[in-house]
Structure 1
Amino acid sequence: MQHKTKTVLIAVILIINNLFCLSQSDTTKYSFYGFHSHYGFIIPHSAAIRPVSGSKPFGVIADIGEMSTTFNSWKVFNTFWFYGTQTGFYSFQNNEVLGGAFILTGYAEPILIWGKRIILTARMGGGLSWHTKIYDEISNPANQFFCTRISFPIYVALRFRHSLTPVTYLTLSGFYNHISNGGLKQPNYGMNFPTVALGIEFLRKPLPMLKADFRSEVRISEPAFYISAGTLTSYKVVDKTDIYPEKGSLSWGIYARVMRQIKTFYSLNAGAELISDNAIKEVIRRGNSGIDHKRFALTAGQDFHMGRVIFTQYLGFYVYSPYKAKNAIYQKYELGYRINKNIITGLFLKAHTYEAELMGIQLSCLWKIKN
């Protein structure tokens, strides 16, 4: 396994170097590549995974990206930002039970603070991971973090860059990493593991001194009310039993919310959500209980508006749930992109405490109703 890991990492380095050496005629784009070493710990968020949460994950990550200085790029977050891909390998330092994970993710990284020699950014990203060890009822029952070879890592991070030369930066980062299959299959407790990363980045040419000469397209003169209505869908797998085979199911939902935009970058929301989880429907069918599988909840939360990107988080309280949920309250997170004035599309994750239940895509419409 170590030999294979080294081979993959060397291949990644060669690919990145070849891409980086390609000619770049666009003078508004500034490309870079970097290498980073991660070290962290696993959060034992459930009794089911606590016995195997004592190891310290270690990772080697390579990334490649660029920054554009055009207005079209700036208005996505209302600031200049880096974007690109990162890949590498995490060892969870427990080869027999947890193994390791190869990751490939995309990221966006808005700039928060810019100086002559320093840059502070916030990175968020997600993608795919392939795991060397997964749950097996007989051979590996202790690994209830992951039960599918392919999972979906997501992360948020703060990255501090300090220039050593005009084209070389030393980096120090703090990451909060989460890997799960999004409720696709159980058991799926997922792994939460913060890491600290030290690295180095190389630019193809020096970054310019950025100037905030652009004006946002989504400014508000006073607080306003909006109505949002949308639909969502998600795919889940119901495990096989001695009687029934494994079965995939497509779930759906609808929601409506009222949003009060208080500041240009911040709003509060409240609404309702109906979800038809067809994986639950299959479980009910197998048990012949005949109860309704749908759930209805009241929701309340907040939105962060970063140009065309909107991050929403809220709590839902079940008021109708014949098939009892693990908790009466759930969390939901949404990352949306504003296609135009009224249409938003994106991804969502629904979870009960630390365990993901649904992950999928959604589409919504937004209307302003009054100031």
Structure 2
Amino acid sequence: MLLSTRLFLALALGLGAAAGLRAQDGPPPAATPEPLVLGLYAQGGFIIAHSPRVKHLVTAHPTGLELNLQRQLTGRAPWHAWYRYPKAGLALVYYDYHSPVLRHSFAASVYLSKAFWRTQRQDLSFRLGTGVGYFPFPFDQQANHKNTFVSSRLNATIQARLEYDVALTPRLGLLLGVALNHYSNGATAKPNLGINIPTLLLGLNYHQQRHFTPAPLDPAADQPADLGRNFWNLSASAGLKQRNESDPKTYWVNSVTVAVGRRVNRKSNLLVGAEGFYDRSLLAEQRDTARAGDRLPDVKKAGVFIGHELLFGRLAFDTHLGFYLYNPYKSNKFYYERVGLKYHFTEHVFGAIDLKVHRGAADVLEWKVGVKL
């Protein structure tokens, strides 16, 4: 399963769209209109048969529709200029899988779209988004046991896309695109092999105003006050996971993290730290194979990590690579990865949603709270 999750839903949808995209380092520049773009696209693609357990489901080509609303960021926050004025959007997506097992799905996601090339009539951009998908017919042992793709109604969606928009009229644009869409629940329920759908897109964009004037950049806000400074992060997390489809019980997973970081430029923080994990599902896993009287190894784990935060005002996209130093019960490889979204509610208090991964397979979805010192 690819890096995914029911991960980024609450933070991405609630905080990313409403707060993170308007958050800023320093006072706002003068108000500049942020033109809107309304889009309607048709999609067609195929499902990647990435495992023998899903080959029986790859029998048709999904088709879909997308309705989205984008806002052209113009510099009200300093990071808009740092990323060369991307668009921020909300998309609603429907897929018909033309399959009696999968049937159809619905999704809502937020995204950023960054232009690589702009002219008076053309726009080539890359779009990355995340949100929540809804599958009305997930895996069910009695009613839908063939659906090994998804086992819960709510799933994360991750969307990556290359788009080309060419003007047909001053306000109407023809949109051509190629995309990869992923759905998964982050191992909170099993089976969870996830769906990967490459697609082609064709549609129309209505531009409220095709060209915009950036807001004047405040030189004081262009250099964040904490640039070059060190900081400490202290946090704790909790998550729930299911071992397999034969064990319907969910188990708590907890972790604590201590990290030191430094803001190295306008867009990035670097971190190193240590953390400990307690996964109660491993106790149940041990009991399945242990004999009476066996002395069972400790399931707690501890490790160190290096990490990076890509900053968008108060919102950050986290990536970590960790290595276990204390790992008596060898339930996985010696290393792990984390990806997540982090949002600073205040200067010192933050929340995050992380997906912990072992070799590309989701281990647990973690909800985190912490302080920055």
TM range (shorter): 0.7 to 0.9
Q: Which amino acid aligns with 1:278?
A: R
Letter in 1 for 2:303: A
Which of 206, 214, 224 does residue 202 from structure 1 map onto?
Answer: 206
Which of 302, 313, 327 aligns to 2:319? It is: 313
Change (3 A) 1:28 1:333: same
Q: What is the rounded CA distance, in whole Å, between the counterparts of 1:365 and 1:325 in structure 2?
A: 31
Alignment of structure 1 residues 161-172 onto 2, 5 Å: 161-172=165-176
* Aligned counterpart for 1:135 among listed residues 132, 139, 142: 139
Q: Which runs of 4+ in 1 moved over 6 A?
A: 285-289
Q: How does 1:292-303 map to 2 (within 5 A)?
A: 292-303=298-309
Aligned to 2:161: 157
Question: 2:280 aligns to what?
Answer: 278
Residue 125 in structure 1 maps to residue 129 in structure 2:
yes
Contact 1:220–1:264 (8 Å) recurs in 2: no
CA offsets, 1:126-157, max 9 Å, x none? 33222244334466544322111222212233
Q: Deviations over 1:63-107 (max 9, x none)?
A: 1233454614865975534334222322334x1343331222233
Mapping for residues 1-371 of structure 1, pairs under 5 Å: 28-50=33-55, 52-53=57-58, 55-67=60-72, 69=74, 71-72=76-77, 79-93=84-98, 95-111=99-115, 113-137=117-141, 140-203=144-207, 205-211=208-214, 213-215=216-218, 216-217=221-222, 219=224, 225-237=230-242, 246-284=248-286, 291-367=297-373
Q: What TM-score comes out, normalization by structure 2 length? A: 0.75
Instruction: Give RMSD over aligned pairs.
Output: 3.5
TM-score relative to the length of structure 1:
0.75
Tell me which amino acid in the other structure corresponds to 1:187. P
What residue identity is the alignment partner of 1:273? E
Cα gap change, 1:50 to 1:76, in 2 (>3 Å): farther
More strand by share: 1
Alpha carbons 1:35, 1:199 under 8 Å: kept? yes
Q: Which has the higher contact order (CA 8 A, sep 6+)?
A: 2
The residue number in structure 1 matching 2:16 is: none
- SS at structure 2 position matched to 1:48: helix
Change (3 A) 1:262 1:46: farther
Gaps of 5+ in 2: 1-30
Once the two structures are TM-superposed, the CA of residue 342 in structure 1 deviates from its matched residue by: 4.0
Q: Following TM superposition, by how much is the alpha carbon of 1:197 offset from its aligned partner in structure 2, in angstroms?
A: 1.9
Cα separation, partners in 2 of 1:350 and 1:45, compared to 1, 3 Å:
farther
Number of residues paired by the alignment? 337
Q: What SS does structure 1 have at the residue aligned with 2:168? A: strand
Please give the secondary structure, in 1, of the residue aligned with 2:35: strand
CA distance in 2, matches of 1:194, 1:332: 24
Q: Percent identity?
A: 24
Deviations 1:259-302 (A, max 9, x none): 35443324443322222233444555677775533322222343
Q: 1:135 to 1:47 in 2, by over 3 A?
A: same
